[in-house]
Amino acid sequence: MHQSDEPRFVQLLSDVMAYYGKDASPFMMDVWLDACKNVEFEQVAKAINAHVKDAERGQFAPKVADIARLLVGTTTDKAALAWGKVLGAMGSVGAYQDVCFDEPAIHAAIVDCGGWTKMCRTDLNELSYLQHRFCNAYKAYVGREVFEYPRQLAGDRGSDALYAKRGLPPPRPVLVGNPEQAKRVLALGGAGGPQITFNNVVDVLAIPVHREAA
């Protein structure tokens, strides 16, 4: 949740608690803000609305655990969407080009799965396992407040030194997903791999943009 969303969240929670005849104390607000800091405001608001409308659980004021239960499905949905984005790029961009997605968690999860080139060359009969592994890693990174990730994912091309030797600039990565968000990932990412691994949890304007088929 962005810091700019906190006033909206506080107001929403105050209104919900008032609906149940409860006071929203500063301590309770701090607990909720800390618990929801890694979740988008819209997702939390949707989960709270679903709780209120629940015929059984909605009789009582929501607790953090109630919303966390509802958000598990949201995280799973996001992982599935991220996998679809990756799978589409595997087929249309391929292993021979560098790539930059629009989410840091996608980069970190791909590194945990062996890297971009290895994923692109996965046998069809192993895709189901790869999807499972990627989605678990993605959800683990999304749940972390801070982690390191590579700015771009290397394809199977010549090294930058080889291009420099020939007096050529290295090829720019293909941007996948939202172009502006992908540029931000490219600008803020590091040179190496992620800080945690799957085993433990689990001039930019000219860059080509890959758009998924509708």
Residues 6+ apart with CB under 8 A from 93: 99, 174, 176, 210
Q: Locate the domains of the chain by residue range.
A: 3-62, 74-210
Helices 127-142 and 104-112, interaxial angle, to 10°? 130
Residue with tokens 């050529």: 168
Is pLDDT of 119 > 70? yes
Is pLDDT of 204 > 80? no
CB contact at 8 A, 190 and 214: no
Is pLDDT of 147 > 50? yes
Comparing C-alpha atoms, which of 3, 142, 27 is closest to residue 80? 142
Is pLDDT of 184 > 90? yes
> Quick one: how far is CA 127 from the chain centroid?
20
Residue with tokens 């890297």: 115
- Count other C-beta atoms under 10 Å from residue 53's C-beta: 9
- Count other C-beta atoms under 10 Å from residue 161's C-beta: 9
CB contact at 8 A, 16 and 62: yes
CB contact at 8 A, 134 and 86: yes
Q: Is 174 helix (H, G, I), strand (E, B) or coil?
A: strand
Angle in degrees, CA 37, 52, 48, rounded to 5? 15
Compute the mean pLDDT over every residue in the chain, rounded to the nearest whole number.
86
CB contact at 8 A, 41 and 2: yes
Task: Convert the pLDDT of each residue in 69-111 to its tens digit.
Answer: 888 777 788 899 999 999 999 999 999 999 999 999 999 999 9
pTM over 0.85, yes/no: no
CB contact at 8 A, 145 and 210: no
Query: What pLDDT does residue 2 have?
Result: 79
